[in-house]
Structure 1
Amino acid sequence: MMRARRAGARRPGLMPREARGSRLIDLLEQQNRKTVLQEWSRALHLATEGLIFLRSATIVLPSELSGRSCSPPMSPDPPPPPTQAPHIRVAPPHLVFGEAPWTQQSEGCGRKGDFIQFGVGFLQSANTSAHHATRAAGVLVGEWAKYRWGLFSETGYPGDQLYLAWYRQGMRWTATVCTDVRGGLPTCPVDHPHHCNEPITAHENATSSLLSFPHLPQVTKFCNSRTHNKEAPTKQNALCGGRSAWEVMKEHEDFRDSERSPSLAQPPPPPVLHFIWQPTQRFVLLVEDTAVMNVQRRWEFVRKAVRRVVVYDLPNGAEVAVVVFNAKDKAAAPLSTVLESTTSDLRERVGSSLPRNPSNVGESQACIPCGIKGAINVLKEGGASPQAANIVLLTSGGKGRKAQVEDVRRLVHKYGLRLQLVLYPLAERPGLPAPPHALVPVARESGGRVFTVMDEGVGNDSKVSMLVSLMEALTAAVAAGGATTPVLIHSATYQGGIASLSTGTFSLDDSLAANARFAVYYYDLNHVGNTIHLTSPSGATFASVNMQEEDGDVNMIFVNLHNAERGEWLYKVENRADSHQALHIQVTSLPSANNDVMVRVWTNQDSQTVIDVEDHRPIIIYGEVKLRGAAVIDAAVKAKLQRLGTNATGGTYPEIHVPLLDLGTGGESLPCYLLPVEITSKLSQTWMLCWLRIS
């Protein structure tokens, strides 16, 4: 699936959004001549010996692109909803790769990568002539092989110390490539490869490799075990153990179908193109309303968390509804037209729409399919299609019944919903891990994510840390659904029990919007003293007694910093919290429109429904920091790992903080760092931490 990403702020040399969207359709869908996608399908068919070709593609256009500006033909069959991550992104020029295609591959040899990306200029250049279309198709086949089948480049890079452009072979320096013409490789007779200025090109009789010379029209194949160059210091050799492209490809499920036989006699049919506009962001907060929510002020925390995300976190223009369910469903707030500014009455009404007290219905009687049906009905009654809507399901950590899971899966697939699952478990006995929820596979299949809130209770109360975690989980769930939510700049916890000033610092920079919010979350109002002081980077001190606001329905005291000064800020807060409670301080801001900073974390198990402990494959955590699509070098990145459940004494396991290291290998693959044994033993599984730099 191709997705035309939002371009964000307009940059020099870019067409307006509607013009770019219209041009994209023209480039992908031409009636009178072959397009890049048609040529790509043909090249893919030839490179895989008649086994693979492009049958169809779904192109997701930005929602702001007017339907009046173009009218692409739709296929007879309805296209699938755009709930999965795009395979290919059409984006503004990359700071390093420009308009050219490139692949982010984080999973390693033989495993699917993250995405392919290129600019509209690549398509414009390709469609100028049949020759350019053929060259572009070869490049796309090479990138698809990296993304889909886990292959890597079979050429070196000038100046690279790991993947050399030239390597010593006897008395000569030979170009680092893979080709089927033995002895026809460019060589350099001088003593040092730095003196080799000859461009590396393939022999005119060469037909491989698409991972070395994808831009040459005569190169149409991948190297196999007979033609592969195992001696060259290529990334393919280094990461795939010296195996050829075909040796790796044949192990992939795409080539394991024994009933298929290759056919090159007939060219593949033209791919069918589906054009879809990104729908309006629609969210249904689906909340379990059973007796378990009455334990340790849990329902009170649910109400506060829902109010926080609706009033303060959801962006303007989003549509949101609130539905509660137990043995049946009930709409607490119907689908709103459009959320307005953060001071609107509409946000207040929707955010405060949950019942004041939970029901007495037992947790075992909770009917999750009833809740999903209620969410669908609310979407339909609001005049919107349920397709591609986000259902943020907040439910306890019970295992769930298998029959209910299948009903939920059927509804999610039928209506093309994206299920964001927020688990709010109650740990009943010490020493037991949090039970797995049967809906986790369904959420992942739908393109959604899963968030778990730690159960932290003391007697009849829950800790305020549980409230903060619940707020963060709901905010992360709507962000996973595509909403632009506030960036968490600073988060700190200060234990109570000692009357003192809690002090700390936070930094603001130009990647953030002009305004920021400094917030103190408390359990009881008297836990926060009268002193809240902020000192700006220039040394100006603000006694916030005249600036602060309070939202008792969220247990939050906050200061809105308008046109906040850039640099490091200092704060002091009088902490009067009880010994078993704490004050939580967070600083948030929206991202700046002019600085596209992206921070992302994921694991190699995110798409897995079942983790086989006998597989012995380590769980890998990937961290990524980018500025306008390019890597940020020398960034300090730290992972915080939390084991779920409770220990033998009923307490929570301590957090583990480990820096994510960049080992400098760069390129399309991500370096990994294996955790020390003393840390992995605490997690009961092997973890790897990785930090991405694309160079």
Structure 2
Amino acid sequence: MDGGAVLFLLLSSLSGGACKIELDGNGFTNILVAINPAVPENPQLIQNIKDMITNSSAYLFTATRKMFYFKDVKLLVPPNWAPHPNYTRGKTESYENANVVIKDMSHGDDPYTLQYDECGKPGKYIHLTPSFLLNDSLLNAYGPRGRVFVHEWAHLRWGVYDEYNEDTPFYISSSQQVEATRCSKHLTGSLGVPSSSDSSLQRCSKDQITGLPSANCQFFPDKTQNTPVSIMYLQSLPAITEFCDDKSHNREAPNMQNRMCNYRSVWSVIGSAPDFDRTTPMTVDPPPPQFTLLQKGRRVVCLVLDVSGSMGGFDRLTRLRQAATLFLREIIEDQSMVGIVTFTSSGTIVKSLTLVHDETSREELVKALPTTAGGGTAICRGLDSGFQVLREDDRSTFGDEIVLLSDGESPVDCLVQVGNSGAIVHGIALGPSADKRVEIMVNMTGGKYILATDKVDSNGLVDAFAALTTSDGNLTLQSIQLESTGMNTGGNSWFNGTVSVDKTVGNDTSFLIIWGTSVPDIIVTSPTGFIYTNTDFSQNKDLKTATLKIPGTAEVGDWTYSLHNTQSSQQALAVTVTSHAASASVDPVTVKAHMNQEVSNGSRPMLVFAEVRQGDLPVILTDVVATIESNDGSKEELQLLDNGAGADVFRHDGIYTKYFTNVRKSGTFNLKVRVQGREDTARLSVRRHGRALYIPGYMEDVVNIAASQHWGPGFNSRSAVCVEFVCSPHIHMGFLQFPPTAQRHTGQLQLNPQRPPGSEEDLQARFPPCTITDLSARIEAQEVLLTWTAPGEDYDQGRAKSYEIRMSPDFELLRKNFSDAQLVNVSLSLPKEAGSMEEYSFSPESILLQNGTILYFAARSEDHENLTSEVSNIAQSALIVPGPDPPTGPEPGPPSSVNITVLVLSVTGVVAAACIVASTVMCVKKRKRTTSA
């Protein structure tokens, strides 16, 4: 194993995620807004949240043409805020399941929505900062908070994308005009470069290669507009009250809405959502939203453990004790309360609620774990006893947690009782016969459902308990799992590995060794060479575990472990390493996983997502591998990518993605995510997508730029724009000063294909290549150069058979009738492996490349089953030879236009260039290949 850090994740429960928003008539209900515990207590913050949502409800009602408003909102305040008579006891709500989170960010105060799925699929959550909600000076940059919230709500609820593009803020339209990337084209404004000395604008220069405005040029919209669109472009303008629809939509704009939604308008996507199925416009104004303030107390957990006769087989009871011991010693947080219940045909309270505050209290709980098994299985009787324990502290079960572990089936006739309890139920299903109906109650209560196999070397049961960390948003209190692995080790053989400890973790670091039959020889070596052996470990031969607690803060760097199986026969060995944050003020690096489907019938692939972050900052340029393991032990590995192509939406946003296409096998599967990075590659990025656009200023007769902008030396408007107290970097990447480590969650996925494996129908059910989404085109010297990321045989895996590329000077022809456009004779050999960069250059036949030439290109691919992909994004190449830069001063232009003067271009001034270009009519076909992405 090399020196790179290894991050592990076992997929979070598919039933988890954001609180489920409901639609009651025309009103959205069950919206959960949660404040992070790190946010200082401030009553004004609560009031401003209420005001924002109240104002946004009226704005949403207008924007959706009297269809929707906000009816009911829950606001979860942190448990460390002082109790208040207006606060109701929270139930199953939690910070990690909130639809809107309030938390400070490391850089800036941009409101944004975490969104990385297909067009029309909901986002994960909206992120707002306390400064955004409290600092009124930020309204100059973003506009009224209620308008911003509706912009983000459209991302969250309806899965639409932004209509601006900071990477490509300008483009050349089909009418040879330079346009700002926006919707609609009727939105007017002026171009300029902000002065470094005052609030004036200087005239933009032109890029001599593209003919577009230079990199420091910005678009300043007119404060007064004659168009009401669009909210997904610039909600801050007073006149903007609608989403772009089919009539106003700008399909030529190179923005994410066009790329992700196949050039559909925002209103078209919103209108196809299920919300519209049984909803009609209201004839009266909606009532104001109703708010409920919630607060949860300390964490209260009861372990409800199956000790029926079946738990005596497969060494399950021992494994239960191993995993529960880890939970009680390393996972459950200080100041929590824990009780223990066992059940067979009835429930038994074996340990009342105990305050966890030191090592002694933890060991008391460990000693109470069951040691014998026998009898039947009655899950509901165990839950009855569990609820009785949870009531011991305050006579209520609201907001408390049950950890239910069972390996067998049982009548589950207590779903109503569980739902009424207000408690969160986590379900751990051990073995293939565990009752799947437990998942129903888990889904009802917002808990985690986890499947663990009987294989010791998979470490599944330990992983399940390790995933049950607090959900209040305070990452610095959570246990971080740095390593979890196992191996069937041959006789007299070694099991070796490396685990990295980064600068953000190291407190309370623990090594747990588990064996199958006999104690192995153990050697653990610190980064500075200090060696720990068996005598340094606390051994429990009955439990088959050995534990090493590292005193103080563990050394930063690579720790190695070597386990020697001294017996002559094979045995299973497993290693688990846990730690905690090194500082309460620095978030650790974490990884979360998500899949886009809970259950697949095999008709389409599933999407695997892994989100790697340090606090709110994405961690990029790391290797992320997902391993999908079936019940029979077979495995499949997927390399997840953050390249903005194939399954991945945004490049370098810390979301690593891949299609899982092998969905033809029935069963339940576990998924592990492994992230490995090095100090010289892993980086932090402050780039965020799905956010409300801030603006540097408006045009009101004269340019009006906020007086407190801090442009600073070397300012570049494409990399940072500062308005009032906002400084929002476009993208800034710095090397991590440590190899990343991460947190583990657990869960499972179900595959129920409708076609019998091996049947003729199954053999014919193949997947086409994925859609090319990053096709680009430009004219270089005498040729057109096309680049794109290669798709695969099945979506983004394998190697496709061929490409079909077509071009036209007519954008709409390619969009509506791809097959009618002119075919490009692609003289490529086989396409490259999926994920590689393709490059192809050629001279167009029958088209004279001259100044003012604009061509559009699109592509699709075909696999060896003759299945074709969808048509790609439409790429533009333009040959615009700019004239000399005009004199300094504001950019002229009539107020009725976009005020971006056509950069065209007198034929007289470019005769020589046109002649040179005309000489390239002879077709030159060749291919240039680049290295893989």
Please classify the TM superposition score into its range, dividing by the shorter chain length: 0.7 to 0.9
Q: How far 1:479 sits from its partner (Å)?
A: 5.1
Q: How far 1:350 sits from its partner (Å)?
A: 1.9
User: Quick check: 2:187–2:226 contact (8 Å CA) kept in 1?
Assistant: no
User: Quick check: 1:155–1:165 contact (8 Å CA) kept in 2?
Assistant: no
Tell me what 2:520 maps to: 528
Q: 1:94 to 1:51 in 2, by over 3 A?
A: farther
Q: 1:299 to 1:493 in 2, by over 3 A?
A: closer
Q: Could you say what secondary structure the match of 1:470 adopts?
A: helix
Q: Deviations over 1:622-673 (max 9, x none)?
A: 10111120101112222121112x3xxxxx32x3232211114338895743
Q: 1:379 to 1:72 in 2, by over 3 A?
A: closer
Choose which of 636, 639, 642 in structure 2 pairs with 1:656: 636
Tell me what 1:314 maps to: 332
Choose which of 102, 105, 113 in structure 2 pairs with 1:93: 105
For 1:560, the aligned partner's letter is K
Mean alpha-carbon deviation: is it higher for 118-127 or for 322-331?
Answer: 118-127
Mean alpha-carbon deviation: is it higher for 320-329 or for 681-690?
Answer: 681-690
Tell me what 2:399 maps to: 388
Tell me what 1:649 maps to: none
Q: Distance in 1 between matches of 2:555 and 2:654?
A: 38
Tell me what 1:564 maps to: 554
Tell me what 2:429 maps to: 423
Tell me what 1:450 maps to: 449
User: Quick check: 1:304–1:553 contact (8 Å CA) kept in 2?
Assistant: no
Tell me what 2:496 maps to: 503
Q: Could you say what secondary structure the match of 2:41 adopts?
A: helix
Q: Could you say what secondary structure the match of 2:316 adopts?
A: helix
Choose which of 277, 285, 297 in structure 2 pairs with 1:256: 277
For 1:340, the aligned partner's letter is H
User: Quick check: 2:469–2:479 contact (8 Å CA) kept in 1?
Assistant: no
Tell me what 2:350 maps to: 332
Choose which of 374, 381, 387 in structure 2 pairs with 1:376: 387
Instruction: Describe how 1:140-159 pairs up with structure 2 within 5 A.
Output: 140-157=149-166
Q: Could you say what secondary structure the match of 2:321 adopts?
A: helix
Q: 1:523 to 1:351 in 2, by over 3 A?
A: same
Q: How far 1:285 sits from its partner (Å)?
A: 1.0
Q: Could you say what secondary structure the match of 2:443 adopts?
A: helix
User: Quick check: 1:107–1:604 contact (8 Å CA) kept in 2?
Assistant: no
Q: Could you say what secondary structure the match of 2:506 adopts?
A: coil
Q: Distance in 2 between matches of 1:590 and 1:39?
A: 42
For 1:587, the aligned partner's letter is V
Q: How far 1:393 sits from its partner (Å)?
A: 1.0
Instruction: Describe how 1:270-281 pairs up with structure 2 within 5 A.
Output: 270-281=288-299
Q: Could you say what secondary structure the match of 1:527 adopts?
A: coil
Instruction: Describe how 1:5-84 pairs up with structure 2 within 5 A.
Output: 5-7=36-38, 17=39, 19-28=40-49, 35-67=51-83, 71=84, 73=86, 81-83=92-94
User: Quick check: 1:103–1:668 contact (8 Å CA) kept in 2?
Assistant: no
Choose which of 666, 672, 675 in structure 1 pairs with 2:651: 666
Q: 1:397 to 1:591 in 2, by over 3 A?
A: farther
Q: Distance in 1 between matches of 2:621 and 2:371?
A: 49
User: Quick check: 1:43–1:138 contact (8 Å CA) kept in 2?
Assistant: yes
Q: How far 1:43 sits from its partner (Å)?
A: 1.0
For 1:450, the aligned partner's letter is Y
Q: Does 2:12 correspond to 1:2?
A: no
Q: Distance in 2 between matches of 1:547 and 1:37?
A: 57
Q: Distance in 2 between matches of 1:150 and 1:294?
A: 49
Q: Could you say what secondary structure the match of 2:353 adopts?
A: coil
Q: Distance in 2 between matches of 1:516 and 1:396?
A: 31
Q: 1:447 to 1:578 in 2, by over 3 A?
A: farther
Percent identity over the alignment? 22
Q: Deviations over 1:311-354 (max 9, x none)?
A: 33211111111111222211121122x2012x21x322222323
Q: 1:51 to 1:622 in 2, by over 3 A?
A: same
Q: Distance in 2 between matches of 1:688 and 1:294?
A: 28
User: Quick check: 1:550–1:558 contact (8 Å CA) kept in 2?
Assistant: yes
Tell me what 1:459 maps to: none
Q: How far 1:494 sits from its partner (Å)?
A: 4.2
Q: How far 1:591 sits from its partner (Å)?
A: 2.5
Tell me what 2:610 maps to: 623
Unaligned runs of 5+ in 2: 1-31, 192-203, 645-649, 676-683, 689-933
Choose which of 119, 131, 141 in structure 2 pairs with 1:109: 119
Q: How far 1:566 sits from its partner (Å)?
A: 1.2
For 1:558, the aligned partner's letter is T
Would you tell me which structure has more helix in proportion to its own residues? 1
Q: Does 2:601 correspond to 1:613?
A: yes
Q: 1:502 to 1:413 in 2, by over 3 A?
A: closer
For 1:339, the aligned partner's letter is V
Q: Could you say what secondary structure the match of 1:212 adopts?
A: helix
Instruction: Describe how 1:468-483 pairs up with structure 2 within 5 A.
Output: 468-478=459-469
Q: How far 1:61 sits from its partner (Å)?
A: 0.9
TM-score, normalised on structure 2?
0.61
Choose which of 411, 414, 426 in structure 2 pairs with 1:408: 414
Q: How far 1:143 sits from its partner (Å)?
A: 0.5
Q: Distance in 2 between matches of 1:580 and 1:73?
A: 62
Q: 1:110 to 1:382 in 2, by over 3 A?
A: same
Tell me what 2:235 maps to: 214
Q: Distance in 2 between matches of 1:182 and 1:577?
A: 79
Tell me what 2:739 maps to: none
Tell me what 1:430 maps to: none
Q: Distance in 1 between matches of 2:205 and 2:526?
A: 63
Q: Could you say what secondary structure the match of 1:330 adopts?
A: strand
Tell me what 1:461 maps to: none
Q: Could you say what secondary structure the match of 1:410 adopts?
A: helix
Q: 1:662 to 1:249 in 2, by over 3 A?
A: same
User: Quick check: 1:156–1:166 contact (8 Å CA) kept in 2?
Assistant: no
For 1:175, the aligned partner's letter is A
User: Quick check: 1:62–1:277 contact (8 Å CA) kept in 2?
Assistant: yes
Q: 1:93 to 1:296 in 2, by over 3 A?
A: closer
Tell me what 1:640 maps to: 627
> For this pair of structures, how many residues does the alignment match?
620
Q: Distance in 1 between matches of 2:217 and 2:638?
A: 44
Q: 1:445 to 1:605 in 2, by over 3 A?
A: farther
User: Quick check: 1:6–1:62 contact (8 Å CA) kept in 2?
Assistant: yes
Tell me what 1:282 maps to: 300
Q: Deviations over 1:204-254 (max 9, x none)?
A: 112110000111122111111111111211111111111111111122222
Q: Could you say what secondary structure the match of 1:445 adopts?
A: helix
Q: Could you say what secondary structure the match of 1:194 adopts?
A: coil
Q: 1:642 to 1:612 in 2, by over 3 A?
A: closer
Q: Could you say what secondary structure the match of 2:513 adopts?
A: strand
User: Quick check: 1:324–1:330 contact (8 Å CA) kept in 2?
Assistant: yes
Q: 1:594 to 1:551 in 2, by over 3 A?
A: farther
Would you tell me which structure has more strand in proportion to its own residues? 2
Q: 1:578 to 1:520 in 2, by over 3 A?
A: farther
Q: 1:93 to 1:301 in 2, by over 3 A?
A: closer
Q: Deviations over 1:1-20 (max 9, x none)?
A: 1000122xxxxxxxxx5x43
Mean alpha-carbon deviation: is it higher for 499-508 or for 182-191?
Answer: 182-191
Mean alpha-carbon deviation: is it higher for 195-204 or for 283-292?
Answer: 195-204
User: Quick check: 2:56–2:150 contact (8 Å CA) kept in 1?
Assistant: yes
Q: Distance in 2 between matches of 1:212 and 1:477?
A: 41
Q: 1:165 to 1:670 in 2, by over 3 A?
A: farther
Q: How far 1:189 sits from its partner (Å)?
A: 10
Q: Distance in 2 between matches of 1:319 and 1:474?
A: 16
Q: Distance in 2 between matches of 1:423 and 1:545?
A: 33
Tell me what 1:32 maps to: none
User: Quick check: 1:172–1:189 contact (8 Å CA) kept in 2?
Assistant: no
Q: 1:24 to 1:617 in 2, by over 3 A?
A: farther
For 1:597, the aligned partner's letter is P
Q: Distance in 2 between matches of 1:396 and 1:225?
A: 55
For 2:614, the aligned partner's letter is L
